[in-house]
């Protein structure tokens, strides 16, 4: 729920734009005329989608191929006694059919994926026909390894074409994939395998990123030593680098050997619209990461529709979303949305600034990318090098830019607009979440005048609202908890294996509404400005981290008694991770120990969770009932020690002075 100190987590230019009226970038008349949707059409379609959702989605549900047409459109209850979300429920379809087979006649020889390796010069491309064949073979391979409809397949892969092949092959036979980001540790992978009861793991010998390799297969081996993993039958290994890897004959199988043996013909299985499509784990404010479950028909309709409309995607264009398939953005806008629309995509194995800071711009030129979709954290990292980031490149193919994952501060927005896009490409700042499946609040390029830092207006069928902490709806301009009042087809249906947790997390804070966990402001034009999370979730480089998760990793260390984690403003990452640690009695704090603790968290969760700052905290600010007052810890971490607010309710207010005295200066 909204707390009084929520603004600490957000870039000031964006949350407090009242001081100076934000600049407005109107749609150019040329783009308004060419684009699928101009402002008038947006308003008319939006209105229709809200007034008559059944009719609107009956029409737009037709954008994918159905084996059996649906007659039911929307059957939804947000009542917390009975949360039930179903779309197109009597229709049948198949995701890989929609992403592959249906394009073969007209686009068989069109490139589906341009793959760019970590090192410049390493490249591959694959047409729709070839991708269809690879996917069909691998679908048969999965069957040969015992995978059946409804089984869960864990995918722990680097950004190679085979990651997309694995995903699509699962969908072809009705298996449910659960991708675990390849940057996660063996421990984190094990937790996700246990929770999902996965039957198979698909991995690679090694991953390659930014000139470094990650021992993925060794990580899988380590994860599988976990005593609670009992379901894994096979590990399929794609050979990426050819490194020597440990091998277990009874369990491990080479990808290429399976592919050679498998037939290239595999009928796409007829799936119910509400059959599970994938699980993706995401962090919340409490407990372990949740396995968010998306289903087949509604997700695909919504993913492909948003891809087409919000990027104003035109046939033949090259689309590049540089997210990793380990995150929802990679699912929806690297693989399912664009491929369902028959787009040509770029898939990049590496990171935006390796081996040089103009790598992104070089890739844009190399493949004549028309639409580039990247996270603010990458934009800020490139912005630090200003003109060098575009040196020697023209980027003349670019028509449109996009951003996702965290608030974009206006300074980064302007740099992206001017330096990368040379002032000619609109920027779509898209707000959404793992749970929403695809974009929810976003400009449409031909329709929406842009304000840097605002995600602007809702997509069709999306009913955002702001509520106060009592759940009262705030009308007109104002600020509050961002909720969504009714369902949309791409919405997550449940938490895998724990529907009660789904209900508790998203539907109990405010009755009858979906709680996003974000705060937002709405201005006089009805534009939304996301102000950041209002719960104990932090957003580090566009990755969502539960502070509770990092805390529990910390306290698992034998020298740690207690830990409290908060976010603090970070120039590049958006938020950095600041840890207050209370050591066991008798243990002395030292820099070596702090380094050791950072390493520990890296090992427990993965590099993305590595604390930026560790502060020795012999005492933490607690209420008399023992609750840690994070508000105070956030203020101290942010260096706002003179605006701590009321500390009189603390059990021991003197703790605060000590914390301030020991504060670690953040650079
Ligand atoms: O806080 C919001 C932030 O990212 C959260 C969702 O994280 P995740 O599920 O990992 O999905 C990220 C990619 C869709 C949101 O609750 N967020 C996402 N997009 C934006 C954003 N914050 C501000 N502006 C955005 N455009």
d(C-alpha 299, C-alpha 292), whole Å: 13
User: 536 or 59, which is more confident?
Assistant: 59
Half-sphere exposure (Cβ direction) of 442: Cα atoms closer than 13 Å: 32
Asked whether residue 45 carries a pLDDT value surpassing 90, the answer given is yes
Best of 432, 495, 517, 540 to mutate for ligand 1, by most ligand atoms within 8 A of CB? 432
Give the pLDDT of residue 6: 34
Strand partners for 570: 574
pLDDT, mean of residues 210-214: 97
Q: What is the position in ligand 1's atom list of the atom closest to the CA of 323? A: 13
Please report which helix (H) or strand (E) contains residue 156, including its range. strand 152-156
* pLDDT tens readout for residues 110-147: 999 999 999 999 999 999 999 999 999 999 999 999 99
> 434 alpha carbon to ligand 1 midpoint, in Å?
8
> 358 alpha carbon to ligand 1 midpoint, in Å?
26
- List strand residue ranges (DSSP E) for 36-77, in order: 74-77
- Pick from 214, 276, 267, 269: nearest CA to 245: 214
Give the pLDDT of residue 624: 86
Asked whether residue 626 carries a pLDDT value surpassing 90, the answer given is no
Residue 275: which pLDDT band, with cuts at 50, 70 and 90? very high
- What does the DSSP 8-state code read for residue 622? B
Q: What is the position in ligand 1's atom list of the atom closest to the CA of 403? A: 26
pLDDT, mean of residues 275-289: 92
Does residue 92 contact residue 325 with C-beta atoms inside 8 Å?
Answer: no
pLDDT, mean of residues 55-69: 98
- What does the DSSP 8-state code read for residue 331? I
Annotated binding-site residue? 320: no
Q: Is 517 left (phi over 0), alpha (psi -120 to 50) or beta?
A: left
The length of the chain is: 667
Does residue 480 contact residue 468 with C-beta atoms inside 8 Å?
Answer: yes
> 377 alpha carbon to ligand 1 midpoint, in Å?
12
Q: Dig out the tokens for 254 from the structure.
A: 């080479």
Does residue 522 contact residue 449 with C-beta atoms inside 8 Å?
Answer: no
pLDDT, mean of residues 204-209: 98
Residue with CA at minimum distance from ligand 1 atom 2: 406
Helix, strand, coil content of the chain in percent (nearest 5)? 35, 25, 45
418 phi/psi in degrees, rounded to 5: -80, -50
- Residues lining ligand 1, Cβ inside 6 A: 282, 328-329, 404-407, 429-434, 455, 516-518, 530, 533, 539, 544
Residue 279: which pLDDT band, with cuts at 50, 70 and 90? very high
- Radius of gyration of the CA atoms of the chain, in A: 24
d(C-alpha 447, C-alpha 23), whole Å: 17
- Mean pLDDT over each residue of the chain, to the nearest integer: 95
Does residue 113 contact residue 347 with C-beta atoms inside 8 Å?
Answer: yes
Q: Give how far the C-alpha of residue 2 lies from the chain's centroid of Cα atoms, to the nearest Å.
A: 22
Q: Write the ipTM.
A: 1.00
**HEC-encoded secondary structure of 574-587:** EEEEEEEEEECCCC
Cβ-based burial of 390 (10 A; exposed 0-12, middle 13-18, buried ≥19): buried
Domains and CATH numbers, the chain: 21-88+443-533 (2.30.38.10), 94-109+117-311+322-337 (3.40.50.12780), 541-662 (3.30.300.30)
- Pick from 454, 388, 391, 463: nearest CA to 427: 454
d(C-alpha 87, C-alpha 527), whole Å: 28
* pLDDT tens readout for residues 560-604: 999 999 999 999 999 999 999 999 999 999 999 999 999 999 999
Residue 2: which pLDDT band, with cuts at 50, 70 and 90? low
d(C-alpha 365, C-alpha 359), whole Å: 10
The residues, ordered by sequence, that sit 6+ positions from 418 with a Cβ below 8 Å of its Cβ are none
Q: Dig out the tokens for 56 from the structure.
A: 């609107």
Annotated binding-site residue? 434: yes
d(C-alpha 620, C-alpha 570), whole Å: 23
- Pick from 298, 277, 303: nearest CA to 74: 298
Question: How far is the CA of 444 from the CAs of 151, 421, 491, in angstroms?
Answer: 38, 17, 20
Best of 179, 278, 406, 490 to mutate for ligand 1, by most ligand atoms within 8 A of CB? 406
Residue with CA at minimum distance from ligand 1 atom 21: 406
Cβ-based burial of 98 (10 A; exposed 0-12, middle 13-18, buried ≥19): buried
d(C-alpha 509, C-alpha 518), whole Å: 13
The residues, ordered by sequence, that sit 6+ positions from 384 with a Cβ below 8 Å of its Cβ are 572
Please report which helix (H) or strand (E) contains residue 359, including its range. helix 359-367
Annotated binding-site residue? 357: no
Annotated binding-site residue? 212: yes
Annotated binding-site residue? 533: yes
d(C-alpha 487, C-alpha 11), whole Å: 30
């Amino acid at each position: 729920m909204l707390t009084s100190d929520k603004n600490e987590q957000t870039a000031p230019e964006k949350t407090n734009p009242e001081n100076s009226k934000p600049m407005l970038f109107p749609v150019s008349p040329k783009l308004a005329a060419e684009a699928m949707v101009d402002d008038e059409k947006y308003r008319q379609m939006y209105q229709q989608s809200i007034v008559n959702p059944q009719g609107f989605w009956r029409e737009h549900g037709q954008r994918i191929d159905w084996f059996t047409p649906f007659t039911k459109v929307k059957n939804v209850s947000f009542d917390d006694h009975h949360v039930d979300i179903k779309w197109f429920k009597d229709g049948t379809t198949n995701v890989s059919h929609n992403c592959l087979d249906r394009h073969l006649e007209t686009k068989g020889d069109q490139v589906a994926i341009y793959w760019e390796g970590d090192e410049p010069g390493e490249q591959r491309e694959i047409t729709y026909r070839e991708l269809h064949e690879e996917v069909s073979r691998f679908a048969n391979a999965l069957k040969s390894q015992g995978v059946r409809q409804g089984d869960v397949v864990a995918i722990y892969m680097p950004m190679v074409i085979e990651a997309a092949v694995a995903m699509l092959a699962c969908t072809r036979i009705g298996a449910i994939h659960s991708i675990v980001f390849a940057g996660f540790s063996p421990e984190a992978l094990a937790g996700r395998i246990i929770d999902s009861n996965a039957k198979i793991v698909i991995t690679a010998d090694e991953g390659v990123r930014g000139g470094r390799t990650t021992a993925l297969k060794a990580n899988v081996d380590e994860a599988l030593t976990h005593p609670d993993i009992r379901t894994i039958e096979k590990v399929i290994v794609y050979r990426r680098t050819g490194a020597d890897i440990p091998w277990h004959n009874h369990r491990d199988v080479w990808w290429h050997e399976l592919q050679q043996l498998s037939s290239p013909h595999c009928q796409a299985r007829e799936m119910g619209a509400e059959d599970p499509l994938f699980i993706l784990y995401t962090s919340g404010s409490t407990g372990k990461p949740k396995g968010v479950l998306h289903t087949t028909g509604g997700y695909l309709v919504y993913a492909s529709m948003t891809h087409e409309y919000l990027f104003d995607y035109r046939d033949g264009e090259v689309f590049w979303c540089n997210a990793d398939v380990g995150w929802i953005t990679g699912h929806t806008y690297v693989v399912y949305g664009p491929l369902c629309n028959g787009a040509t995509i770029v898939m990049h194995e590496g990171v935006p600034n390796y081996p040089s800071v103009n790598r992104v711009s070089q890739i844009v030129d190399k493949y004549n990318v028309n639409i580039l979709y990247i996270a603010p954290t990458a934009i800020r990292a490139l912005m630090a090098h200003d003109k060098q980031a575009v040196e020697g490149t023209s980027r003349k193919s670019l028509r449109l830019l996009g951003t996702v994952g965290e608030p974009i501060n206006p300074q980064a927005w302007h740099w992206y607009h001017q330096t990368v896009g040379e002032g000619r490409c609109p920027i779509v700042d898209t707000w959404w979440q793992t749970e929403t499946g695809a974009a929810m609040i976003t400009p449409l390029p031909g329709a929406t005048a842009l304000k840097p830092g605002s995600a602007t207006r809702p997509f069709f069928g999306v009913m955002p609202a702001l509520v106060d902490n009592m759940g009262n709806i705030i009308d007109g301009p104002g600020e509050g908890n961002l909720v969504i009042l009714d369902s949309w087809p791409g919405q997550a249906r449940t938490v895998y294996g724990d529907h009660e947790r789904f209900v508790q997390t998203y539907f109990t804070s405010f009755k009858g509404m979906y709680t996003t966990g974000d705060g937002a402001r709405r201005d006089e034009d009805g534009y939304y400005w996301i102000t950041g999370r209002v719960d104990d979730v932090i957003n580090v480089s566009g990755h969502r981290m539960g502070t509770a998760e990092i805390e529990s990793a910390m306290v698992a260390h034998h020298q740690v008694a207690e830990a409290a984690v908060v976010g603090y403003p970070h120039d590049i990452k958006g938020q950095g991770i600041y840890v207050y640690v209370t050591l066991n009695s008798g243990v002395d704090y030292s820099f070596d120990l702090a380094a050791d603790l950072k390493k520990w968290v890296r090992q427990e969760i993965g590099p993305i969770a590595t604390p930026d700052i560790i502060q020795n905290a012999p005492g933490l600010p607690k209420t008399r009932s023992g609750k840690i007052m994070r508000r105070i810890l956030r203020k101290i971490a942010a260096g706002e020690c003179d605006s701590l607010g009321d500390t009189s309710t603390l059990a021991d207010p003197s703790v605060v002075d000590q914390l301030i005295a020991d504060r670690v200066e953040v650079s």
